[in-house]
Chain A
Amino acid sequence: MRTATDDMIWRDVAGLADIPPLGGRVLVTATGEIALLRNEDGEVFALDNRCPHKGGPLAEGTVTGYTVHCPLHGWRIDLSSGQVRDPDCGLVRTWDVRIEGDRILLRLPR
Chain B
Amino acid sequence: MNNTVSVKPRLVVIGNGMAGMRTIEELLKMAPDHYDITVFGDEPHPNYNRILLSPVLAGEMTFEDTILNGRAWYEQHGISLHTTAPVTTIDRVRRQVIAANGTVAPYDRLLLAMGSHPFVPDIEGARLPGVMSYRTIEDVNIMRALPAGARAVIIGGGLLGLEAAYGLLSQGVQVTVVHRHPWLLERQMDRVGGDLLARSLIERGLCFCLSSETEAILGGERVEAIRLKDGRLLEADLVVFAVGIRPRTALAREAGLHCDRGIIVDDTLQTYDPRIYAAGECVQHRGATYGLVAPLFEQAKVAANHLACYGRLRYTGSITSTKLKVTGIDLFSAGDFAGGTGCEEVSLLDPAAGVYKKAVIRDHKLAGMLLYGDTSLGPWLFQLLRNGNDITDLRDHLLFGEPAGDARHGGERAIAQMPDTAEVCGCNGVSKGTIVHAIRAQGLFTVDDVRRCTKASGSCGSCSGLVEQILSSVLGGLYETPPQKRALCTCTDLTHDEVRDAIVTRKLLSAREVFRVLEWKAQGGCPTCRPAVNYYVRAAWPIEASDDPQARFVNERVHANIQKDGTYSVIPRMYGGVTTPAELKRIAEVAERYDVPMVKLTGGQRIDLLGVNKSDLPAIWADLGMPSGHAYGKALRTCKSCVGTEFCRFGTQDSTHLAITLEKRLERMWSPHKVKLAASGCPRNCAESTIKDFGVIGVDSGWEIYVGGNGGMKLRGGDLLAKVKTEDEVVEIAEAFMQLYRKEAYYLERTAPWIERVGLDHVKDRIIAKPETRKQLAEELRTAISQERDPWAAALAGTITIHAEPLRATEALP
Interface membership of A43, Cβ < 8 A: no
Inter-chain contacts of A106 with B (CB < 8 A): 809
Query: In the complex, what distance in Å separates the CA atom of A20 from the CA atom of B558?
Result: 14
Q: Interface centre among A39, A61, A87, by most B CB within 10 Å?
A: A87
How far in angstroms is the closest Cβ of chain A from B38? 34
How far in angstroms is the closest Cβ of chain A from B458? 7
For A66-106 the 0/1 string (1 means CB < 8 A from B) is 00010111100000000000111000000000000000011
Query: In the complex, what distance in Å separates the CA atom of A36 from the CA atom of B811?
Result: 18
Inter-chain contacts of A26 with B (CB < 8 A): 803, 806-807
How far in angstroms is the closest Cβ of chain B from A86? 7
Give the contacts of B550-585 with A (CB-CB under 8 A). Answer: 550, 553-554, 557-558, 562, 564-566
In contact, A11 and B455 (Cβ under 8 angstroms) = no
Interface of B is mostly: loop
How far in angstroms is the closest Cβ of chain B from A67? 9
Enumerate the 9 nearest inter-chain pairs by beta-carbon distance, A residue then B residue, closest first: A26-B806, A40-B524, A60-B554, A22-B550, A62-B527, A71-B554, A57-B566, A27-B807, A28-B806
Query: Can you name 7 A-B residue pairings with CB atoms under 8 Å?
Result: A26-B807, A62-B530, A64-B527, A86-B453, A87-B454, A105-B813, A108-B809
Inter-chain contacts of A14 with B (CB < 8 A): 807
In contact, A28 and B810 (Cβ under 8 angstroms) = no
In contact, A36 and B807 (Cβ under 8 angstroms) = yes
Query: In the complex, what distance in Å separates the CA atom of A65 from the CA atom of B430?
Result: 28
Give the contacts of B531-567 with A (CB-CB under 8 A). Answer: 549-550, 553-554, 557-558, 562, 564-566
Query: In the complex, what distance in Å separates the CA atom of A29 from the CA atom of B562?
Result: 23
Known contacts A11-B809, A20-B549, A71-B562; decide if A64 and B525 are in contact (CB<8 Å).
yes
Give the contacts of B758-814 with A (CB-CB under 8 A). Answer: 803, 806-813
How far in angstroms is the closest Cβ of chain B from A34? 9
Query: In the complex, what distance in Å separates the CA atom of A27 from the CA atom of B197?
Result: 70
Inter-chain contacts of A105 with B (CB < 8 A): 813
Give the contacts of A1-39 with B (CB-CB under 8 A). Answer: 9-14, 18, 20-23, 25-29, 33, 36, 39
In contact, B566 and A25 (Cβ under 8 angstroms) = no
For B304-341 the 0/1 string (1 means CB < 8 A from A) is 00000000000000000000000000000000000000
How far in angstroms is the closest Cβ of chain B from A101? 13
Known contacts A28-B808, A33-B806; decide if A64 and B524 are in contact (CB<8 Å).
yes
How far in angstroms is the closest Cβ of chain B from A107? 10
In contact, B564 and A72 (Cβ under 8 angstroms) = yes
Known contacts A87-B452, A87-B454; decide if A13 and B807 are in contact (CB<8 Å).
yes
Return the contact of B807 from the options A28, A61, A74 (Cβ within 8 A).
A28
Q: Interface centre among A9, A20, A33, A110, by most B CB within 10 Å?
A: A20
Interface membership of B523, Cβ < 8 A: yes
Query: In the complex, what distance in Å separates the CA atom of A77 from the CA atom of B442?
Result: 22
| Given A40-B524, A64-B525, A87-B452, 4 additional A-B pairs, CB 8 A | A21-B550, A65-B524, A74-B527, A87-B454
Inter-chain contacts of A61 with B (CB < 8 A): 554
How far in angstroms is the closest Cβ of chain B from A9? 5
Interface membership of B101, Cβ < 8 A: no
How far in angstroms is the closest Cβ of chain A from B440? 15
In contact, A12 and B566 (Cβ under 8 angstroms) = no
Tally of contact residues, B, Cβ under 8 A: 32
A: contact size bracket: 35 or more
Inter-chain contacts of B564 with A (CB < 8 A): 54, 72
In contact, A71 and B524 (Cβ under 8 angstroms) = no
For A39-63 the 0/1 string (1 means CB < 8 A from B) is 1100000000000001111001111
Query: Closest chain B residue to A88 by CB distance?
Result: B455
Give the contacts of B58-93 with A (CB-CB under 8 A). Answer: none
Inter-chain contacts of A13 with B (CB < 8 A): 807-810
In contact, A18 and B524 (Cβ under 8 angstroms) = no
In contact, B562 and A72 (Cβ under 8 angstroms) = yes
Inter-chain contacts of B810 with A (CB < 8 A): 11-13
In contact, A25 and B549 (Cβ under 8 angstroms) = no
In contact, B812 and A11 (Cβ under 8 angstroms) = yes
Inter-chain contacts of B553 with A (CB < 8 A): 62, 71
Inter-chain contacts of B558 with A (CB < 8 A): 60
Interface membership of B598, Cβ < 8 A: no
In contact, A87 and B455 (Cβ under 8 angstroms) = yes
In contact, B566 and A56 (Cβ under 8 angstroms) = yes
Query: In the complex, what distance in Å separates the CA atom of A29 from the CA atom of B808?
Result: 7
Interface membership of B526, Cβ < 8 A: yes
Query: Closest chain B residue to A105 by CB distance?
Result: B813
Query: In the complex, what distance in Å separates the CA atom of A18 from the CA atom of B809?
Result: 13
Query: In the complex, what distance in Å separates the CA atom of A60 from the CA atom of B455?
Result: 21
Q: Interface centre among A56, A63, A71, by most B CB within 10 Å?
A: A71
Query: Closest chain B residue to A33 by CB distance?
Result: B806
Query: Closest chain A residue to B558 by CB distance?
Result: A60
How far in angstroms is the closest Cβ of chain A from B482? 21
Query: In the complex, what distance in Å separates the CA atom of A86 from the CA atom of B450?
Result: 12
Query: Closest chain A residue to B456 by CB distance?
Result: A87
Query: In the complex, what distance in Å separates the CA atom of A18 from the CA atom of B806?
Result: 10
Inter-chain contacts of B455 with A (CB < 8 A): 87-88
Known contacts A56-B566, A71-B553; decide if A64 and B809 are in contact (CB<8 Å).
no
Inter-chain contacts of A65 with B (CB < 8 A): 522-524
Inter-chain contacts of B565 with A (CB < 8 A): 55
Return the contact of A40 from the options B454, B458, B523, B803 (Cβ within 8 A).
B523
Interface membership of B392, Cβ < 8 A: no
Query: Closest chain A residue to B523 by CB distance?
Result: A40
Inter-chain contacts of A73 with B (CB < 8 A): 459
Inter-chain contacts of A28 with B (CB < 8 A): 806-809
Query: In the complex, what distance in Å separates the CA atom of A103 from the CA atom of B674?
Result: 40
In contact, B806 and A27 (Cβ under 8 angstroms) = yes
Query: In the complex, what distance in Å separates the CA atom of A21 from the CA atom of B459?
Result: 26
Q: Interface centre among A10, A21, A26, by most B CB within 10 Å?
A: A26
How far in angstroms is the closest Cβ of chain A from B669? 24
In contact, A12 and B813 (Cβ under 8 angstroms) = yes
Known contacts A11-B812, A12-B813; decide if A18 and B530 are in contact (CB<8 Å).
no
Inter-chain contacts of A69 with B (CB < 8 A): 527
Query: In the complex, what distance in Å separates the CA atom of A11 from the CA atom of B454?
Result: 41
In contact, A27 and B809 (Cβ under 8 angstroms) = yes
In contact, A23 and B550 (Cβ under 8 angstroms) = yes
Inter-chain contacts of A108 with B (CB < 8 A): 809
In contact, A64 and B526 (Cβ under 8 angstroms) = yes
Inter-chain contacts of B453 with A (CB < 8 A): 86-87
Inter-chain contacts of A110 with B (CB < 8 A): 812
For B442-457 the 0/1 string (1 means CB < 8 A from A) is 0000000000111100
Query: In the complex, what distance in Å separates the CA atom of A74 from the CA atom of B806?
Result: 22
Inter-chain contacts of A64 with B (CB < 8 A): 522, 524-527, 530
Inter-chain contacts of B566 with A (CB < 8 A): 55-57, 60
Give the contacts of B440-487 with A (CB-CB under 8 A). Answer: 452-455, 458-459
Known contacts A18-B807, A55-B566, A62-B553; decide if A9 and B524 are in contact (CB<8 Å).
no
Query: In the complex, what distance in Å separates the CA atom of A43 from the CA atom of B453?
Result: 28
Query: Closest chain B residue to A30 by CB distance?
Result: B809
In contact, A9 and B807 (Cβ under 8 angstroms) = no
Inter-chain contacts of A72 with B (CB < 8 A): 562, 564
Inter-chain contacts of B459 with A (CB < 8 A): 73-74
Query: In the complex, what distance in Å separates the CA atom of A23 from the CA atom of B802?
Result: 11
Return the contact of B808 from the options A9, A27, A55 (Cβ within 8 A).
A27
In contact, A25 and B803 (Cβ under 8 angstroms) = yes
Inter-chain contacts of A39 with B (CB < 8 A): 524
How far in angstroms is the closest Cβ of chain B from A40? 4
Query: In the complex, what distance in Å separates the CA atom of A12 from the CA atom of B808?
Result: 9
Query: Closest chain B residue to A75 by CB distance?
Result: B455
Query: In the complex, what distance in Å separates the CA atom of A10 from the CA atom of B808?
Result: 14
Inter-chain contacts of B525 with A (CB < 8 A): 64
Inter-chain contacts of A12 with B (CB < 8 A): 809-811, 813
Query: In the complex, what distance in Å separates the CA atom of A2 from the CA atom of B523?
Result: 33
Query: In the complex, what distance in Å separates the CA atom of A84 from the CA atom of B557?
Result: 25
Inter-chain contacts of B811 with A (CB < 8 A): 11-12
Inter-chain contacts of B524 with A (CB < 8 A): 22, 39-40, 63-65
In contact, B809 and A74 (Cβ under 8 angstroms) = no
